[in-house]
Every structure is written in C-alpha cells, then in structure tokens.
Structure 1
Amino acid sequence: MFSLQNKIALITGGASGIGLAITEAFAQAGATVHILELNRAAAQTAADAVVAAGGQAFAHEVNVADQLAVRGVVEQIAAQNRIDILVNNAGIAHIGNAETTIETDFDRVISVNVKGVYNCLNAVLPHMRAAGGGVILNMASIAATLGLNDRFAYSMSKGATVSMTLSVAKDYLAHNIRCNCISPARVHTPFVDGFIAKNYPGQEAEMVDKLAKAQPIGRMGTPQEVAALALFLCSDEAGFITGCDYPIDGGTIRLNT
C-alpha cells in the first residue's frame, strides 16, 4: 500500500525538517523526487542522500517567491517527465502581532508562504491538466484555524493556504486533480531547536519540555509522522479524498481546554 512507484514528485523546501522527511518517505515509496530549494547545497545534499539509499532524487535551486524562476524549473522538469505530485512545503515563520509586525516582514511572509504556493500551483497545474490528473498537497498549519499568540502574519498566510487548497480542489475536480492540505501543530525540527537556542540560551531542555507539554498528547510531533500522512494523501489509496485540511496536532484543536 501507499506505493508511489513510477511517480514524479516536486517538493518545495524538501531538504530540511518536514520537507526532508517527505522527500525521504516519497523516495522510499518509489517516487522520483525533485527537491526545489532556495539553498542549492542543501538540496544537493538531500538528493545525494536519497540516491545513496537507493532512491532517485534531483536538486533544483529556486526561490518560490520568484514566479519566473519557478516556471523555469517546472518547465525543465515537465519537458522530461510527467509531473504527478506537487508538495508545497516551503515556508517561513514570523513572530509578532498586528501592531508589532512591520510591513517588510509582512510582505516577506506573503511572498514565500502565499505567493510561493500560488507560483507553484500556477506553473504545475497546466501540466497536470494536460496529463489528465495529479495530486497537490499544501502545507498549512493549525495556526490557520486557531488563535495563536504572536503569529499574526504566519497565521494569515496559512489561512490563505487552506483557502487556496479548497479553491484548487473545486476548480480541478473535472481534471482529475486532487488537492488537500496538512495542518501540523508543533513539530520537533531543527528549526525549533535553533529558535530555542537563539532565544532561550541555557534553557533548551526546559523549553523543549514546555513546548511538548503544551500539546494535549504531551509531546511534539515528528517530521516522519507528518511525512507518513503526506505519503497517504498523495497515494492512490487516497483517491477519494480532495478539498480537505488534515490536522496532525496531538489533539491540540479538539482537546485543548
């Protein structure tokens, strides 16, 4: 079950954190993975690791906020292969409320988390439509549906991601293109460790424990758990699922009181 044999998958931000876990899971399931990353070296390192493990992967340097750059990479890939799967995972975080968020930071979040998703959709959808179908998975967040402290711009961007997911799912039903999104709660990634080390030096263990206990299940999620859900949603077994937002949150949305 959940085989991606002979599938071609594009994964933005596929060289670190959740994106890397998705890259590894898809490659293990038989997909040829194209890693679209801002950092060329990181993308190549991830692709080399997949190949060393017996999979197939290629690295591409691209800024998802640059529409021409995205279109160029997608056209290059599409000229060689059908594109079966797009995972819009690339994103950036931001801390601040509506007063403390400055315009340049707000624009930066929009350019990556909103426009970046749009750019990839805009470039890939014509190829999927011409090929007779495909699967799109967007990375949202529980921040799209919960009020999280000091996450004004980030929450806005993830709300937009959910809305884009629903719109694409509706518009492309007749073209055999499914579109869903995943909304994780806090997942333990190198980004989280880096954030804690920068803002709470000397308190790393205490802060990790505090963040873990803030979720009803008593721990943070793992990138591999998110990747497992992504693998299911992009597999043929999920062929009856479209237009859905899947929380993977340790009970945060429903069980927090």
Structure 2
Amino acid sequence: MFDDFLVRATLAGVAVAMAAAVLGCFVVWRRMAYFGDATAHAAILGVALSLGLSISIFAGAMAVAVIMALIVAGLSGRGYAEDTLLGVLAHSALAFGLVAVSFIPDVRVDLGAYLFGDILAVGKADLAVIWIGALAVVGLIAWRWSRLLMATLNADLAFASGIHPRREQLVLTLALAIVVAVSIKVVGALLITALLIIPAAAARPFGRTPEAMALGAVVIGVASAVLGMVAAYQLDTPTGPTIVSVAAILFVLSNLSRLLWSR
C-alpha cells in the first residue's frame, strides 16, 4: 500500500492533470502554447516575491501569472510579432525570478522544486488548495464552455451572437493563471506547458467533437499522472518529469494508432 505522502502526491497529480487537460484543449485550439509557457515562466518571479513577502506561494504565483498574461494580451499586435514578445517576456520573467530568489536573505530555496516540481512534498493544505484551484478551473470552463468554444472557432461570429471574444480570452487567462499556480509543486514551472499541451494533443486524433476531445484529454492526463507516479516510485526517477514523459509516450501511441487505423 502506498504511504500517505504518495497518496497525497497522486491525488495532487490527478487534480492538476484534470484541470490542465480541459484547459489544454483551448490552448491547442487557439495555438496558445507559447502564451502558456510565458505565463508559467513568470510564475517563478511570483515564487520569489512570495518568499520575500512571506505570503502564499499559490497567491504570489497566480498574481504574477495573471499580470504577465494581461501584459501579453495588452501588448500583442502593437509593433511586435507575438512569438517575439512572448519569448522576451517569458525568459525575462524567468531570469528576474531566479535573480530575485538569490537576494532573499535567510531563505534557502530549492529552485529545482519550483522549476521541475516536488510533488512528493505536497502536504494536506497544499492538496486542498490544488483541488480547489483545479475544480475552480474545470467549473469555470464548463460554465463558459459554449461561449469559449464560439469565440475560439470564429471571433466575428461570436461577436455577432452577442459574445465578447476579449472577455472569453480573459476567462482563459484567469484559468491559465490558476492552473500555473496549482501546478508549481506538481510539475514545476518548466513543465506546466507540457501537461497543458500533450494530453490535449494526444486526444485530438480521436476527438470527433470538442467535448469528446476534452474528455479524452482528461482521461489521458489522469492516466499520465497515475502511471507517472507508479513509474517514478518503481524506477526512483523525478516524479514531475516522469509524469510528462508518460504523457509523451501516450501521445506517440495515440498518433501511431491513428496511422494504423487510417490504413
């Protein structure tokens, strides 16, 4: 039987995978992968501010992630290519965050835990925050599903139907910030984007409808979290990277299956 800390870690992984998979479908549909990367990298600056101000890591990471996402949304289309802007902001925020951590007195920080995750250190309070955040994201997307889908498929048609695409973009921005904040301890800032993209991309070949793709992404994401935990336990490997590695293997198997069935 798993020890208590392994049960908590598995439950945390399942919660993050579930929320990331649902949101990841919109990240894939909207081609927001680099946007997610920028937001995740900015979370390290939030971690540094949280440690310096002695506030919750979750609150600091989410606040900075929201600010970063709003800055990117506000500056897009104003003289810079979006990928260039995202690249500058993402890596600048990560660098400033790493530098800021070094200036915090009397605090010894394991940066690897925030960059690649430390899911085995998840406590009961962390687990509660992760599940509340994950359920909030799933509930938010379920509530706005039809509007988000319409704004994703055709912004002009959505506007004509009384839906404001900009508002739906802000909903996704908020959801992304929450996912980034709750994922810090599970897979770390450098691997959050992978957990957003890979399960959704793996489910895409078999998703005949948007709802089917989202459900498939959740199944693949949760399977990746559970199998990744088991593999990490058996092989004594880093848990966060192992979860992402399992998701990558499932992505390859998904695409191989599609190729074989299409013949």
- Fold shared, TM-score > 0.5 on shorter chain: no
Task: Give the TM-score normalised by the residue count of structure 2.
Answer: 0.30
TM-score normalised by length of structure 1: 0.31
Per chain length, whose mean CA-contact separation is higher, i.e. which structure has more relative contact order (CA < 8 Å, sep 6+)?
2
More helix per residue:
2
